[in-house]
Structure 1
């Protein structure tokens, strides 16, 4: 009989997280990813939570594990402030970059703002970043919003982007479905209609100009 290989021994529990260790975790994370202040805080909290779960599964009392990491939890805010001082965390810069990226991917102004808010960026920073990245709502921002709507329509293959061989019924069906989808995605009725009624050449030019801006 062939003996079964023995299971590997469980990984030993790492030391209790401390400020120095969390700082190293934050620096390693920010070397790979762009993140908001709130995002880094959540990442460090999850790192601590994982240690607590491993400690409990290793036999430590849950209350003892929770008490052991209290100093680390208290250090998170200061570590993130240090990251801001180093320029590694900048909510305004992150928000402007992400706003441009999302608009180019076909997201409406409203959805861009919601996306940033969900990542813990405060309302004033979101408002300023959207204005800077996409333009004023009553000016340049309207053109950016229209270009984003065109990207959305292109993904749906509707309006100017419908298949050349589509018959009238399919054209109408895709138009109606795109109008409904664009409303749910935060585009106004007027912006959606302008995008879907546009000629293909102009639509492609507008998308190109937005992506080159």
Structure 2
């Protein structure tokens, strides 16, 4: 039985219907921008073409049509994806730079990335405090704060926070004092 499980089934030959069903199946499970959907479907095309001795470039127009159909029907909306993903990352304590990098890696356009990653100083401070709390940095550390100050500042800087915000969080007296503006 293990030998049968290890054997992979041959990939199906690519048709427009197959690509459309694959896109629908992917979008049922994941929210994705158009570029991400295109990458997922392109991987399927490459695997199938490699197995069936076809040229993947010949199926590019079919791939573009399927992605365009998903965008036109409203299943794929880059703006909605960008706003939702940026809000999620901010709640997790990610910096504006980290949000922008994550969205750019997903294939979101540069305009939408800059629009979504723009945050005010209060949002950035709240995200830095969340990160510091999760990583037990600064006021939330268990050890001697004086000895680990530089390491804590470096950790927040690597997370993408500006040094002014990192210093405000790490040098803060505690969560109570920071949360009372």
Q: CA deviation at 1:184?
A: 2.0
Give the 3 Å change call, closer, same or farther, for CA 17–158 of structure 1 in structure 2: same
Which among 171, 175, 178 is matched to residue 200 of structure 1?
175
**Larger Rg: 1 or 2?**
1
1:189 alignment counterpart: 163
Q: Secondary structure at the match of 1:100?
A: helix
Q: CA deviation at 1:13?
A: 3.7
Which blocks of at least 5 consecutive residues in structure 2 are unaligned? Answer: none
Which blocks of at least 5 consecutive residues in structure 1 are unaligned? Answer: 135-140, 207-213
When normalised by structure 1's length, the TM-score is: 0.74
Residue by residue over 1:61-90, the C-alpha shift from the partner in whole angstroms, topping out at 9 and shown as x without a partner, is xxxx133x5443321112111111222111
Residue by residue over 1:135-163, the C-alpha shift from the partner in whole angstroms, topping out at 9 and shown as x without a partner, is xxxxxx11000011011111221222122
Q: Does residue 44 of structure 2 align to residue 47 of structure 1?
A: yes
1:172 alignment counterpart: 146
Give the 3 Å change call, closer, same or farther, for CA 91–202 of structure 1 in structure 2: farther
Matches within 5 A, 1:113-128: 113-128=100-115
Which among 18, 21, 27 is matched to residue 30 of structure 1?
27
Inter-partner Cα distance in structure 1 for 2:80 and 2:96: 17
1:137 alignment counterpart: none
Larger displacement relative to structure 2 (145-154 or 70-79): 70-79
Matches within 5 A, 1:1-213: 8=4, 13-53=10-50, 55=51, 65-67=53-55, 69-131=56-118, 134=119, 141-163=120-142, 166=143, 170-198=144-172, 199-203=174-178
Residue by residue over 1:113-134, the C-alpha shift from the partner in whole angstroms, topping out at 9 and shown as x without a partner, is 1111111111111122234xx4
Contact 2:86/2:99 (<8 A) preserved: yes
Residue by residue over 1:35-71, the C-alpha shift from the partner in whole angstroms, topping out at 9 and shown as x without a partner, is 1111000000111122234x2xxxx6xxxx133x544
When normalised by structure 2's length, the TM-score is: 0.86
Q: CA deviation at 1:91?
A: 1.0
Q: CA deviation at 1:8?
A: 4.7
RMSD after superposition:
2.5
